[in-house]
């Protein structure tokens, strides 16, 4: 069975500090991977997607970057957090033309 694990579950960070969020998918070879952001009470905004190791496409610019160092790992990061980065970050995976499955998310509070 496929599992998706996101870490950390929650973070409280200071403005200007760095951030790294991670996501690991087990049980699926070469999945498409995605990062989403959700403001409190809002809809989902896709940030990045990756269809293969080492390749990441940006969907929207929010002063964030993403990397896929391994087939089963997707990292979201920034060197300097902004207040506007607060929210809920979700990692997801899918196969081509199939359903999208989400991790449990990371709640980020930037103070």
Partner 1 sequence: GDQVEQSPSALSLHEGTGSALRCNFTTTMRAVQWFQQNSRGSLINLFYLASGTKENGRLKSTFNSKESYSTLHIRDAQLEDSGTYFCAAEAGDSNYQLIWGSGTKLIIKP
> In the complex, which residues of this chain contact partner 1 (CB under 8 A)?
32, 34, 38, 43-46, 49, 51, 57, 59, 88, 90, 92, 96-102, 104-105, 107
Phi, psi at 73, each rounded to 5°: -130, 135
Q: Which residue has the tokens 């990397």?
A: 67
Q: How near is the Cβ of 10 to partner 1 at its closest, in Å? A: 10
Q: How near is the Cβ of 15 to partner 1 at its closest, in Å? A: 23
Residues 74, 35 contacting (CB under 8 angstroms): yes
When the beta carbons of 14 and 61 are compared against partner 1, the nearer one is 61
Residues 50 and 27: their CA atoms lie apart, in Å, by 17
Q: Count CB-CB contacts under 10 A for residue 89.
A: 22
When the beta carbons of 15 and 51 are compared against partner 1, the nearer one is 51
When the beta carbons of 13 and 95 are compared against partner 1, the nearer one is 95
When the beta carbons of 45 and 73 are compared against partner 1, the nearer one is 45
Q: How near is the Cβ of 111 to partner 1 at its closest, in Å? A: 20
Residues 81, 19 contacting (CB under 8 angstroms): yes
Q: How near is the Cβ of 51 to partner 1 at its closest, in Å? A: 7
Residues 66 and 68: their CA atoms lie apart, in Å, by 7
């Amino acid at each position: 069975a496929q599992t998706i694990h996101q870490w950390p579950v929650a973070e409280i960070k200071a403005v200007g500090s760095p951030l790294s969020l991670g996501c690991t998918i087990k049980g699926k070879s070469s999945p498409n991977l995605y990062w989403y952001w959700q403001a409190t009470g809002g809809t989902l905004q896709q940030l990045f997607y990756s269809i293969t190791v080492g390749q990441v496409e940006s969907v929207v610019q929010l002063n964030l970057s993403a990397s896929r160092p391994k087939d089963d790992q997707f990292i979201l990061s920034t060197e300097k957090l902004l207040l506007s980065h607060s929210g809920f970050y979700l990692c997801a995976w899918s196969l081509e033309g199939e359903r999208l499955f989400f991790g449990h998310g990371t709640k980020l509070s930037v103070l």
